[in-house]
Chain A
Amino acid sequence: MAVESQYVTADVIEAMELPDLSRRYAVRGVPKIVIHETTEFVGALPEAQYLAQVKAAVETNGKKQ
């Protein structure tokens, strides 16, 4: 997704090596995805559902501002 949009930053984080981040985002299973600090899910999703999560995160963020 980051390849397609200048607005997207994608971080791939090695959970065991970075326990402080894993704790902060309460990582108990992998892959765990956190979008925009607000939306999160564990496990691989089909692309359409993944996109729905991204949209939900963008919307949630918009409401907060």
Chain B
Amino acid sequence: MALISDKDRETIRSRFDESLTGDVEIIMFTERESPIIIPGKEPCETCAQTQELLDEVASLSDKLTLTVHEISAAKDEAQAHGIDRVPAFVFKGASRGQVRFFGIPSGYEFSALIADLIDVSNGTTDLSEETRKYLSELTEDINIKVFTTPT
């Protein structure tokens, strides 16, 4: 069964049609289910579902592609994006900085995911001129963490 309902799928598809201008690659890091149970190592509970969800999102526009890396086999790539846990994903598009998601993007995070994809595709935001001016004048790195829950 699809994770995104038919109704939501149509809403998102038309929003993507209207708003996406540039291509965005969603780069996901995952961990395949291991047939071996390793003591002290928790299996990734949401990896498969996150991949399924991103796959469904990517299928809603020609401008979106999904690339999936097994984290143990793509250490350099993961490190380049500062990713050390799974599931996690980043967007590659017209964004100047980097947007990273850790954990399954359900609930509120899902709408943030759709909105962020649109911003990254366009390389623009609806932030005020004052905010954009401040950001354009930054000369040092800033990290912003936003903690959310599924509900």
B140 (CB) vs chain A CBs: closest residue = A7
A20 (CB) vs chain B CBs: closest residue = B85
Contact indicator B148/A1 (Cβ below 8 Å): no
Contact indicator A17/B104 (Cβ below 8 Å): yes
A22 cross-chain contacts in B, Cβ below 8 A: 147
Complex: how many Å from CA A17 to CA B85? 11
Contact A18/B103 with A3-B97, A4-B125, A8-B144 known, Cβ cut-off 8 Å: yes
Check: B53 CB closer than 8 A to any chain A CB: no
A8 cross-chain contacts in B, Cβ below 8 A: 96-98, 135, 138, 141-144
The number of chain A residues touching the other chain, given as a range, is 35 or more
Contact indicator B145/A7 (Cβ below 8 Å): no
Annotate B92-107 by CB proximity to A: 1 below 8 A, 0 otherwise: 0011111111111110
Least CB distance, B73 to chain A, in whole angstroms: 22
The number of chain B residues touching the other chain, given as a range, is 35 or more
Complex: how many Å from CA A11 to CA B109? 11
Contact indicator A12/B96 (Cβ below 8 Å): no
Contact indicator A30/B143 (Cβ below 8 Å): no
Contact indicator A12/B99 (Cβ below 8 Å): yes
Contact indicator A17/B138 (Cβ below 8 Å): no
Annotate B111-141 by CB proximity to A: 1 below 8 A, 0 otherwise: 0110010011001110110111011101111
Contact A7/B150 with A17-B103, A18-B85 known, Cβ cut-off 8 Å: no
Check: B146 CB closer than 8 A to any chain A CB: yes
Complex: how many Å from CA A18 to CA B150? 12
Contact indicator B120/A11 (Cβ below 8 Å): no
Chain B positions near chain A (C-beta within 8 angstroms): 45-46, 82, 85, 94-106, 108-109, 112-113, 116, 119-120, 123-125, 127-128, 130-132, 134-136, 138-150
* A3-B94, A4-B131, A12-B113 known, 4 other contacts, Cβ within 8 Å: A3-B119, A7-B141, A11-B100, A21-B145
